Structure 1
Amino acid sequence: MDLQQHPSNKPVLVDKEVAWDKTKVIMSKTDARGIIEYANEVFVDVCGYEDYELMGQPHNIIRHPDMPKVIFKVLWEKLQSGENFHAIVKNLAKSGRYYWVITDFEISRNEEGVIENYFARRKSVPQEVITNHIEPLYKKLLQIEAASGIQYSEKYLNGFLEERNKTYVQYIMELIYNHEKENVKAEKAEEEKGFFSRFFGR
């Protein structure tokens, strides 16, 4: 059985993934400061908090300690300057379990053009993308943050992306696109194998 909460009200970490329907979309709405104003049923089901526990809370209520701070720094800088941003994030459920998502933001402004709300849609991320690319990168960024601070993890992230001639968003979108392309290729190969084995009777 998973441990739920310890006295400080922080979830006790459990190194297990939340079981959830990965075809569904997790949605939330926050104000300009990142305070939760709405969470859809999928969000509530996956994170394990009730609606009343989420409303009025900062979105970092679900921040996992395995997440490098630099990713959120870049994310907030982009959003506050009015740019959409995609990020791959490891979130922390109330049970202490984790779940990985890719987030897409929509920015809402008032009549004066001032940002009022952020709408976030989150989908699951292929496990191969997490294991082979994101976890090793985030682990290194965390290590740098612990040893030298966030400014050096940002320098490392910038160097990592410059070497690939990509922005962070381009890098993660390409990872997901390449994964999907490989899947389609594998499915086609399976279909062809099936056709030939039927055709030749083996």
Structure 2
Amino acid sequence: MRKKDLSLTGNERTLDPDDLIVTKTDLSGKIRYGNRTFYKFAGYGPSECIGVQHNIIRHPEMPRTVFKLLWDTLKAGNEIFAYVNNRSRNGDHYWVLAHVTPSWSETGEIIGYHSNRRAPNRAVIREHIDPLYATLMKIESSSASPKDALAAGEKHVHDLLASKGMSFNELMFALGV
């Protein structure tokens, strides 16, 4: 089943406080490993995910700007914390707090990425993340092109961070991850 064939059910699945979703990807974002919890929430089996782009679980209401920020941060060799809304194979969705880090070779080269995701703080999503992501989606959808959409979304995030004197990770922690 191709991702674009999926519809949204509107049903939210929630992680228990002890749940931990783990995936590892190569440099291009293709899945190399997923734990049982990942497959349970994604609704796919290992044979359907290994070698496939991690965006197989991308929810269409997630701003592209957030993923651009994530990839730019990782490629610079830094870790990132971000709230992410994912989509299960059946169209359900589930929110996570993702901690994504580069994986390093013995010679100091980035060779892939490692992501741990856990149950998010629901109040933070409701009070801060939902409004921010809705604004980013509106900015992105009203732009003339995908390139303009990312530029406008990035400007909004950078202006927000500058106004608070914080990095993105600092903002996530200030909100109460």
User: Does TM, normalized by the shorter one, top 0.5?
Assistant: yes
Which residue matches 1:64?
59
SS of the equivalent of 2:155 reads helix
Counterparts of 1:66-145 in structure 2, within 5 Å, are 66-145=61-140
Question: Secondary structure of the residue that 1:82 maps to in structure 2?
Answer: coil
From 25, 42, 50, the equivalent of 2:45 is 50
Q: Which amino acid aligns with 1:122?
A: R
**Which SS does the other structure have where 2:12 is aligned?**
coil
Tell me how far apart the structure 2 counterparts of residues 157 and 106 of structure 1 sit (CA, whole Å).
21
Q: How many residues align?
A: 172
Give 3-state SS (helix, strand or coil) of 1:67's partner: coil
- Once residues 138 and 8 of structure 1 are traced to their aligned partners in structure 2, the CA distance between those partners, rounded to angstroms, is 21
Q: Which runs of 5+ in 1 are unaligned?
A: 178-202
CA–CA distance in structure 2, aligned partners of residues 13 and 151 of structure 1: 28
Structure with larger RCO (C-alpha < 8 A, sep 6+): 2
1:8 is displaced (CA, Å) by 7.2
Is 2:156 aligned against 1:156? yes
Closer, same or farther in 2 for the Cα pair 1:127/1:8, shift >3 Å?
closer
Residue type at the aligned position of 2:10: D
Q: Which has the larger radius of gyration?
A: 1
Q: Which runs of 5+ in 2 are unaligned?
A: 144-148
Identity %: 34
Q: Deviations over 1:141-170 (max 9, x none)?
A: 010011122211111111111111111111
Give the Cα–Cα distance (whole angstroms) in 1 for the partners of residues 14 and 166 of structure 2: 33
Specify the alignment match of 2:26 in structure 1: 31
Q: What's the counterpart of residue 170 of structure 2?
A: 170
CA RMSD after TM alignment: 1.6
* CA deviation string 1:84-106 (max 9, x = no partner): 11111110111101111111123
